[in-house]
A and B are shown apart, each in its own frame.
Chain A
Amino acid sequence: MDNVLLCMEEIEKSFPGVDALKKCRFELKAGEVHALVGENGAGKSTLMKIFAGIYSKDGGRILYKDEEVNIPNPHTAQQMGISMVHQELNLMPHLTAAQNIFIGREPFRGFKFILDENALNEKAQKIFDMMHLKLDPRAKVATLSVAKQQMVEIAKALSFNSNVLILDEPSAALTEVEINELFRIIRQLRDKGVGIIYITHRLEELKEISDRVTVLRDGLYVDTVLTEKATIDHIIKLMVGRVIYESSPEIPEHPSDEIVLEVKNLIRGKELKNISFKLKKGEVLGFAGLVGAGRTEAARAIFGADPFESGEVIVKGKKVHIKGPSDAVAHDIGYLSEDRKRYGLCLGLDVETNIALTIINKLTGFLGWVKNTKIHSIAKDIVDKLSIRTPSLTQKVKNLSGGNQQKLVVGKWLAKNTDILIFDEPTRGIDVGAKQEIYSLLNELAQQGKSIIMISSELPEILRMSHRVVVMCEGRVTGELDNKEITQEGVMQLATQRNG
């Protein structure tokens, strides 16, 4: 056992409705940089959060420095010499960099309660010097760029003089130069014997910084390879290689060539970099990519939910100016958001009110009196058409199952006869049985001539449903795949293709 710092075995973890980790394992040696890769939802962050004391494991063992340990909270992890830098920054924006780094460990001046601000700043400066980082310890974090903020988080992790450093997607917001600095610091630590776990989606970084790579898939441990001996292609195969047990129904006949929606050169700062694509009538256009690729941002921009800086949206041949969702809806575009409970439904209201939400203003009479009977009949029609299982039309929506709630959101747009539908993660949080129903529904809609953009992070879903696939990576469209070209590897390669 040469210098094994950490050994996680048979780790099990479930959250309500989803098994995040199953018999997962991971091993880390001192003085190594060990990369952890996998698709969205593979379980990388979850596994590390268990190690860092943020989540508790449901089963399995953790051996740290050859002893079995229990890590109930982040504080214990810190005491044990384990630090984690998260994807989402955990900083206090109103405090300075130095204050953030040493929160909870402030140096005092003689009298127990009085803070020694000078000592605090000096300690922070020492760390920044070691990192060759040009940063004023007295700068308020809110004034720093995201990259600098990330550096503050890293400095904080370093200040614990840990034996293990976990970095969760640290290079996401950094430029080339900053990444090089980060790598230099990582190598420095590795040479000192620190064990570093590096979670990343950027496969091209693996060769540069890692010694070994562990691949997770669907919460399971797949394999660990030596970086020098492995190829990126092989690693991608490990990440996605799964047998699809569900039989794919035949993708319905080739859609017409009529273009109903064209987006040209959509730009918004760093999130949307020149997005262009076309949507054909009766087509299911898959939008693939990793979390953060910018797909939801693009959808929301097209729908008018968020503004964009420049670009054109052309609906059915006419250029349109969409300043808000009401414009988009007027042009026959509907958007079904990822978080249906928050953005798609009024949970406390009943089925028929939710269905009628898009058309209720047309169903009123004198002085705004609502025509309840009309709403009732339209809602009944839709509930029947979509086979929505509900005891009655006046049932509160929050009592429906996830699958039926999702169908309800679709029903809302059908009531308005919307032609262009953007589905964002349509089967998230829905069980297998209901998923099939949603897929059938989507196919039916496409056959009826509706045009669908389907944003999804589940590769099997993308493969199964899409006539064509647009792949995005970090705000850019990296490629388009047509019917036969759509393979898991093909999509994954485009999804991880970072431009310099």
Chain B
Amino acid sequence: MKTGISPTGKRKSSDTFQRLMAFGALIIIFVGFSFASPYFFTFNNVVGILISTAVNGLLALGVTFVIISGGIDLSVGTVMTLSSIMCGVFVTYWNLPIPLGILAGILTGGLAGFVNGLMISKMKLPPFIATLGMLNVARGLSLVISDLQPIYFALDKNFNDIAMGSVLGSVIPGFDIPNGVLIMFASAIVAGLILTKTIIGRYCFAIGSNEEAVRLSGVNIVIWKTAVYTVGGLFVGIAGIIIAARLNSAQPALGLGYELDAIAAAVIGGTSMSGGEGTILGTIIGAFIISTLTNGLRIMSVPQEWQIVVTGLIIISAVYLDILRRKKQ
């Protein structure tokens, strides 16, 4: 049949094959653009790709958990903004230390996820509807709290360094990888560990695979579904911090639309919309495919509108290829 280990124990994993395919696609795109333009494969440009993937990558991490559990989260974009706004409120409005602001931002994301999870598991709202509601609530709250104005971080606080500074660069001269990129990778590693090694990850897959069977096995669905959405929300909160740091401000009008790229990344990376399947590595590769394409096309002076068309085509082909691969088994 499909993936996993056959009963005799031999590793016959086409999960790996699929991830290899995604990675292979990324390599091909990379190599292709390198040949197409001399400006592509430069240190600065590659760093540009890395940092532009950071925010979407973090959002995609959060959304991956939710999709694997069989749900969806449309609010990741605006909740990210709300998180950045809360950070701004703590640091700029209330003059509290930056670490507290960061905590506030991340917990805002977690709280939104918690509420989403409760709406879905306890009130039995369909995930699409619950998170659509949250999308609007978060968006509105961002505008209300910020009074429609961006919240700027004082320059002397060096908030920007969190994303754009380079700890690595100060240790290894010339290797100025922005901190935001490292934070994304670190978060990805943590997300991967949570998904594969902890009980939250296990229930995430189980619920996405057959929620009724999990319920009949005596597991409390309300608690664990809520936990999944909360964990996803925490990563959205981290994304909020990173984007605020990058822009050195919390922009209340941002965010709407970011959820689409996040979901795209997860889907391109092999997360199944019907639940039960997905990997963090795949999602990260998916995020890179999107940003690499966008970057490469821009370097080749392809108008931005066409870049968006290409992203859409990539989503369609990635999922279609996956459907074909399954049929073959």
Contacts and interface: CB of A to CB of B under 8 A. Distances in A.
A192 B297 CA distance: 71
A115 B9 CA distance: 21
B201 to A, nearest CB: 8
Contacts of A233: none
B302 to A, nearest CB: 39
A393 interface: no
A258 to B, nearest CB: 44
Interface stretch (B38-46, B212-220, B254-262): B212-220
Contacts of A136: 5-9
B210 A108 contact: no
Interface in B193-241: 197-200, 202, 205-206, 208-210, 212-214, 216-219
Contacts, number: 92
B4 interface: yes
Contact of B200 (A54, A74, A94, A113): A113
Contacts of A117: 197
A90 B212 CA distance: 8
A115 B197 CA distance: 5
Interface in A17-51: none
B194 to A, nearest CB: 8
Given A90-B210, A93-B210, A115 B7 contact: no
A113 B204 CA distance: 13
Nearest to A103: B217
Q: Which of B6, B206, B210 has the most CB of A within 10 A?
A: B210
B204 to A, nearest CB: 11
Contacts of B212: 90
B205 A134 contact: no
Given A74-B216, A74-B218, A99 B210 contact: no
A75 interface: yes
A93 B3 CA distance: 10
Given A106-B199, A106-B202, A96 B4 contact: yes
Nearest to B2: A142
Interface string A100-139: 0001101010000111010000000000000000111011
Main secondary structure of the interface of A (DSSP, over half): loop
Contacts of A74: 216-218
Contacts of A135: 7
A7 interface: no
A140 interface: yes
A148 B6 CA distance: 12
Given A74-B216, A113-B199, A139 B276 contact: no
Contact of A108 (B199, B209, B217, B219): B199
A116 to B, nearest CB: 9
Interface string B1-40: 1111111110000000000000000000000000000000
B73 interface: no
A92 B7 contact: no
Given A114-B197, A115-B198, A136-B9, A94 B218 contact: no
Contact of A95 (B1, B205, B219): B205
A6 B2 CA distance: 42
B219 A92 contact: no
Q: Which of A94, A103, A135, A140 has the most CB of B within 10 A?
A: A94
B286 to A, nearest CB: 19
A430 interface: no
B100 to A, nearest CB: 26
Interface residues of B, number: 28
Contacts of B206: 92, 95, 99, 103
A305 interface: no
A487 B157 CA distance: 92
Contacts of A296: none
B214 A103 contact: yes
A96 B13 CA distance: 13
A91 B6 contact: no
A78 interface: yes
A316 to B, nearest CB: 38
A144 B7 contact: yes
A395 interface: no
A104 B219 contact: yes
B8 A103 contact: no
B214 to A, nearest CB: 6
B326 to A, nearest CB: 11
B219 A140 contact: no
Contacts of B199: 106, 108, 113, 115
Nearest to A79: B218
Nearest to B207: A92
Interface in B259-307: 276-277
Contacts of B5: 96, 136, 138-140, 143
A256 to B, nearest CB: 48
Given A54-B216, A114-B198, A143 B3 contact: yes
Q: Which of A73, A99, A143 has the most CB of B within 10 A?
A: A143
B2 A143 contact: yes
Contacts of A99: 202, 206
A140 B3 contact: yes
A86 to B, nearest CB: 9
A94 B276 contact: yes
Interface of B: 1-9, 197-200, 202, 205-206, 208-210, 212-214, 216-219, 276-277
User: 10 smallest A-B Cβ distances: which pairs?
Assistant: A140-B4, A94-B276, A75-B218, A92-B209, A94-B209, A90-B213, A92-B210, A104-B219, A143-B1, A113-B198
25 contacts: A74-B217, A90-B217, A92-B276, A94-B209, A95-B202, A95-B205, A96-B4, A99-B202, A103-B202, A103-B217, A103-B219, A104-B217, A104-B219, A106-B202, A108-B199, A113-B199, A114-B198, A115-B198, A117-B197, A136-B8, A138-B9, A140-B5, A144-B1, A144-B7, A148-B7
Given A140-B4, A142-B3, 14 more contacts: A90-B217, A92-B213, A93-B276, A94-B208, A104-B214, A106-B199, A113-B198, A114-B198, A136-B7, A140-B2, A140-B3, A143-B6, A143-B7, A144-B7
Interface of A: 54, 73-75, 78, 90-96, 99, 103-104, 106, 108, 113-115, 117, 134-136, 138-140, 142-144, 148
